Amino acid sequence: MVDTPGKVLALVLAGGKGTRLEPLTSNRSKPAVPFGGQYRIIDFVLSNLINSGIYSIYVLTMFKSQSLNEHLQEAWNFGNILPNHYIIPVPAQQRTGDHWYRGTADAIYQNLNLIEDRDPDEIVIFGGDHIFLMNVNHMLAFARKRNADACVACIPCPIEEAHQFGVIQVDEEWHITGFQEKPKDPTPIPGDPTMALVSMGNYWFNRSSVIDNLLRDAKDPKSSHDFGKNILPHMLASGQSLYAYDFAQNFIPGSNPEANDSYWRDVGTLDAYFDANMDLRAVSPELDLYNLEWPIRTADSHLPPPKFVHNVEGRVGQAIQSIVCSGSIISGATVIDSVIGRQCIINSYAELRACVLMDDVHVGRGAQLHRCIVDKHVRIPAGDRIGFDHVEDAKRFHITENGIVVIAKNQCLEKPQA
């Protein structure tokens, strides 16, 4: 870990509904969605902050926050061990009027008391719903060196894909010169006509600039109270100093040389969520979860290790190019290219290919699953076949645009007809 000079306060925006992740977000917010077998999405941003030496963190919640609150209590409760070491969930409280958060900037505005009470020198505002590893100190050092008023973490994106995002225009010194909202003709990065610069939704501000700009924006009846759409463009227009931090320069101590330190995924759709989980199957995945110098923390389950049993012809408990988490038992079944959560039981002769299972899923004897996402506490009947006939699957489950079958939490499945 690296010490950061000055007092840094982190505010994590964790109130997203995650509508495009339904049914995974039917009973939880997007940051609380399980990922990678044993984590929650929010574990990544919190681990990045802690690993960067930033220990004063507020998590701003709003929609369906109970699951997230319980996880924060279980996994991220520091107690009173050290001063200014805390991760505290803050629910929407309507402190400034009879409305909930109207945008990312309004979420911070309604909690300006936290900034005033803690009196930090610098504020980092990060989203709580992306999968990435980031040494935040690099961004802080970049902003300080340039005496910036604000700094936006950005990632280079192939220019043919950039029309899907908000594009940031910069000069050769990475000083922000303009913003383009989902442009038909994105402006490339200086010196690289094949790439455009896309905002990651992570920001650094000095104390005075964030307070002054939020107070001004709150009085603007025409504003949608969003950092990307309102705060930053106004700061640029009024001559304030804005810089873009190039996430491609991110360096994680101890990272596998074959890992991609600028790996960043917006898992805002079911297909993107599935693909990001599948990325973990690689021999040397781009996202390095095995770096002990940059651990991804989560709740300690105190479960026994996974177990693989039976070894006779046609009945071998095995998992190939897969992740299998603690407490799970592969009992005479075959698991290939999959991510298996905790306390799952895969019974004899069952076969799973390219599946994501959350905790406490039982797969019955002889069942077959292909390209499925299965939420918690589901029981797959013996002999069931899911993921092979989308017409039949659509009668029982949600099917994504890319053909992934999604089985909701606690969904009751009837035994298939013989």
Both 343 and 383 in one domain: the answer is yes
Residue 107: inside a domain = yes
DSSP for residue 228: I
Both 312 and 275 in one domain: the answer is no
Q: What pLDDT sits at residue 243?
A: 98
- The contacts of residue 279 (CB under 8 Å, 6+ apart) are 263, 265, 285, 286, 287
* pLDDT tens readout for residues 169-222: 999 999 999 999 889 999 999 999 999 999 999 999 999 999 999 999 999 989
- The contacts of residue 57 (CB under 8 Å, 6+ apart) are 9, 10, 11, 12, 46, 49, 50, 86, 87, 88
Q: How many CA atoms lie within 13 A of 12 on its CB side?
A: 29
Q: What pLDDT sits at residue 92?
A: 82
Q: What pLDDT sits at residue 54?
A: 96
Average pLDDT over residues 87-114: 84
Residue 288: inside a domain = no
Both 229 and 360 in one domain: the answer is no
Both 140 and 100 in one domain: the answer is yes
Domain with 168, as residue range(s), is 8-279
Q: 194 by DSSP, 3-state: which?
A: strand
Both 355 and 232 in one domain: the answer is no
Q: What pLDDT sits at residue 4?
A: 47
Both 199 and 52 in one domain: the answer is yes
Residue 55: inside a domain = yes
Average pLDDT over residues 275-283: 97
CATH number at residue 342: 2.160.10.10
- Counted domains in the chain: 2
Backbone angles phi, psi at 136, to 5 degrees: -65, -25
Q: What pLDDT sits at residue 263?
A: 97
Residue 87: inside a domain = yes
Q: What pLDDT sits at residue 5?
A: 53
Task: Give the lowest-confidence range in 76-90, 128-142, 337-351.
Answer: 76-90
Q: What pLDDT sits at residue 97?
A: 61
Residue 232: inside a domain = yes
Both 74 and 129 in one domain: the answer is yes
Q: 200 by DSSP, 3-state: which?
A: strand
pLDDT band at 93 (very low <50, low <70, confident <90, very high): confident
Mean pLDDT of the chain: 93
Both 270 and 339 in one domain: the answer is no
Average pLDDT over residues 398-403: 98
Both 159 and 29 in one domain: the answer is yes
Q: What pLDDT sits at residue 2?
A: 43
- Decide which of 279, 297, 325 is a domain's last residue: 279
Q: What pLDDT sits at residue 301?
A: 87
Both 202 and 267 in one domain: the answer is yes
Residue 170: inside a domain = yes
Place of tokens 């101890």: 254
Query: Residues 232, 148: contact at Cβ < 8 Å?
Result: no
Backbone angles phi, psi at 344, to 5 degrees: -95, 150
Q: What pLDDT sits at residue 397?
A: 97
Q: Which tops the pLDDT comparison, 218 or 2?
A: 218
Task: Say if residue 80's pLDDT is above 80.
Answer: no
* pLDDT tens readout for residues 102-114: 889 999 999 999 9
Residue 113: inside a domain = yes
* pLDDT tens readout for residues 295-323: 999 999 899 999 999 999 999 999 999 99
* pLDDT tens readout for residues 347-375: 999 999 999 999 999 999 999 999 999 99
Backbone angles phi, psi at 248, to 5 degrees: -65, -20
Residue 39: inside a domain = yes
| 72 vs 32: CA distance, rounded Å | 9
Percent of residues, the chain, with pLDDT higher than 70: 95
| 324 vs 304: CA distance, rounded Å | 12
Q: What pLDDT sits at residue 164?
A: 86
CATH number at residue 237: 3.90.550.10
Both 188 and 336 in one domain: the answer is no
Both 44 and 139 in one domain: the answer is yes
* pLDDT tens readout for residues 215-256: 999 999 899 899 999 999 999 999 999 999 999 999 999 999
* pLDDT tens readout for residues 22-60: 999 999 999 999 999 999 999 999 999 999 999 999 999
